[in-house]
Amino acid sequence: MTTVTPTLDVVTVGAAPLRPDDVVAVARHGVRVEIAPEALARVARTRALIEGLADDPEPHYGISTGFGALATTFIAPDRRRQLQASLIRSHAAGTGPEVEREVVRALQLLRLQTLATGRTGVRPVVVSTYAAMLNAGITPIVREYGSLGCSGDLAPLSHVALAAMGEGDVRTAEGDLSSAADALGAASIPPLELSEKEGLALINGTDGMLGMLLLALHDLRVLLDTADVAAAMSIESQLGTDAVFAADLMSLRPQAGQAASAANLRALLAGSGIMASHRDPSVCTRVQDAYSLRCSPQVHGAARDTLDHAAMIAGRELAASVDNPVVTDDGRVESNGNFHGAPVAYVLDFLAIAVADVASISERRTDRALDVARSQGLPPFLAHEAGVDSGLMIAQYAAAGIVSELKRLAMPASVDSIPSSAMQEDHVSMGWAAARKLRRGIDGLARVLAIEILTGARAIDLRAPLVPGPATRAARDVVRTAAAGPGRDHFVSPDIEALTALVLSGAVARAALGEAGAGADEALPTTSEKTTMSEGNR
């Protein structure tokens, strides 16, 4: 995904809730973690409480009993270490392709944060081991399928716990496949031998789906800025109007995201010689642009607002301590349902819908640029010699195929539920599945935007000698570092791949919005902040 260099040297866990940028820095860029001393002290105090309950002849769930549907089965003290290890081994039942390294690292970090709250009852050594594995770059092999999103991401988290026990397979910092035992040994990390409550504490959480949500939020802020840039290039090159994006018109419908995108479009189109060439009503006789041009800020803005809502939910989840049972402030150990992934699953599905729609309107703008009947004077398919050359005809096919796939991926996962554990766990969130399909959707959106930007850059060049605005020209110049301008047909696929990488890196958005003074910085401001920035620098 994005490759912006982090500014953090170390992320401290346990002093305060992690920030979204902390998670991206550790998961994607390998930034080191440290445990706050007060967190280790807190963990030690809670562990003493758990050990007291372990000696109690009365059963306590997860401490002296079985799990799930076996919660009423009392386990004798001499079998409890076996119980914890058996829990992890049996629950590490994932199957399918390996999950991406950044997702597993996010999952590891988020579980570490919950352990460091002191509400799970683990020993300090468990906390230290998870931190050491992250810092050594030891990434457990987690499989695609296995989580129902309730009781949390059981199977993915179990694969991580299994590796901490010195069992199963991992990837080293260099990406090599290794046994967990060998990797831990090479890093001088003793394998864990789990004690009472610790098996449950390591696997009862929404960490996998939350980690993927946080990575998605980071990427989508870049992609929604890029969507505004792509739209500006299409509007400009197709001789559209920017009058419909006026601030007073936007204020008639006070949607924050819409206002932010409209402000970006105004800034991106400012100073355009192409736009100036047809402002005179005697030159341009069109009354209104098509929806895909005119309604770009409404669609992009709705996606921005959805993103902000998802970020709010993610922020709350980052402040949570999800485990079952959990240790309360007054020392009670209580069962609860906080591991249910519904809050996270819903917004993952909401974002998949927004991704599909932003890609859909982007593909429509691309299609208009290639259609000689609608492109306002551009050659068919932007071909050098129509008939002999096909131009970008099939690039649009690729975008259309991706959009069709994104519409299927927009089908909510969270409306499904399959009972498990002998009907004890009879309603589940499917949040992990929602997160997996959103990741695929983000990749698809980036490719659709790359195709629109490739098309827009060629269309702008074909408007010569008319001159584009400074911002769209900056975007065009980034495109030209990866793809040639108008001319005879050539191998198009490498152009699309290279531009997709530039889109995901944020290079296109930074170049254009930086020139326009409209945002797209690495601090990832909120919608309301970006509206102020765009208006103030316009």
Give per-residue pLDDT as tens, 24-60.
999 999 999 999 999 999 999 999 988 888 777 777 7
pLDDT given for residue 325 in this prediction: 86
Q: What percent of the chain has pLDDT over 70?
A: 92
Distance CA 414, CA 392 (A): 38
Q: Determine, yes or no, domain membership for 179.
A: yes
How does residue 66 score in pLDDT terms, banded at 50, 70 and 90?
low
Domain that holds residue 192: 10-204
How, if at all, do strands 10-13 and 95-98 pair? unpaired
Q: How far is CA 354 from CA 173, 270, 349, 406, in A?
A: 35, 27, 9, 10
> How far is the first Cα of the chain from the last one, in angstroms, to the nearest whole number?
30
DSSP SS3 for 144: strand
Query: Would you say the C-alpha torsion 12, 319, 443, 439 has a positive or negative sign?
Result: positive
Mark whether 160 and 180 lie in a shared domain. yes
pLDDT given for residue 51 in this prediction: 87
Q: For all residues of the chain together, what is the average pLDDT?
A: 91
Q: Determine, yes or no, domain membership for 223.
A: yes
- Report the candidate in 146, 140, 108, 121 with the shortest Cα–Cα distance to residue 11: 108
Residue 529: pLDDT over 50: no
pLDDT given for residue 240 in this prediction: 96
Q: What is the CATH number of the domain that holds 378?
A: 1.20.200.10
Residue 534: pLDDT over 70: no
Q: In the predicted model, what is the mean pLDDT of residues 366-382? A: 96
pLDDT given for residue 335 in this prediction: 84
Strands of 308-380, DSSP E: 326-327, 333-334
- Report the candidate in 402, 393, 403 with the shortest Cα–Cα distance to residue 372: 393
How many other β-carbons are positioned within 10 Å of the β-carbon of residue 176? 9
**For 457-467, what is each residue's pLDDT tens digit?**
999 999 999 99
Orientation angle between helical segments 342-370 and 393-409, nearest 10 degrees: 160
Hey, which residues are catalytic here? 61
In the block, tokens 């902000």 appear at: 308
Q: What percent of the chain has pLDDT over 90?
A: 78
- Residues present in the chain in total: 538
Mark whether 476 and 435 lie in a shared domain. yes
Please say which residue of 186, 204, 222 terminates a domain: 204
Distance CA 272, CA 515 (A): 13
Tokens of 206: 């929404």
Q: In the predicted model, what is the mean pLDDT of residues 470-480? A: 98
Q: Do 434 and 349 form a contact (C-beta atoms < 8 A)?
A: yes
Residue 61: pLDDT over 80: no
**For 503-524, what is each residue's pLDDT tens digit?**
999 999 999 999 998 543 333 3
Task: Look up residue 290 and give its amino acid.
Answer: A
pLDDT given for residue 82 in this prediction: 87
pLDDT given for residue 482 in this prediction: 96
Please say which residue of 169, 204, 239 terminates a domain: 204
Residue 538: pLDDT over 60: no
What is the pTM assigned to this prediction? 0.92
Mark whether 81 and 164 lie in a shared domain. yes
Mark whether 218 and 74 lie in a shared domain. no
Mark whether 299 and 174 lie in a shared domain. no
pLDDT given for residue 174 in this prediction: 97
Mark whether 191 and 264 lie in a shared domain. no
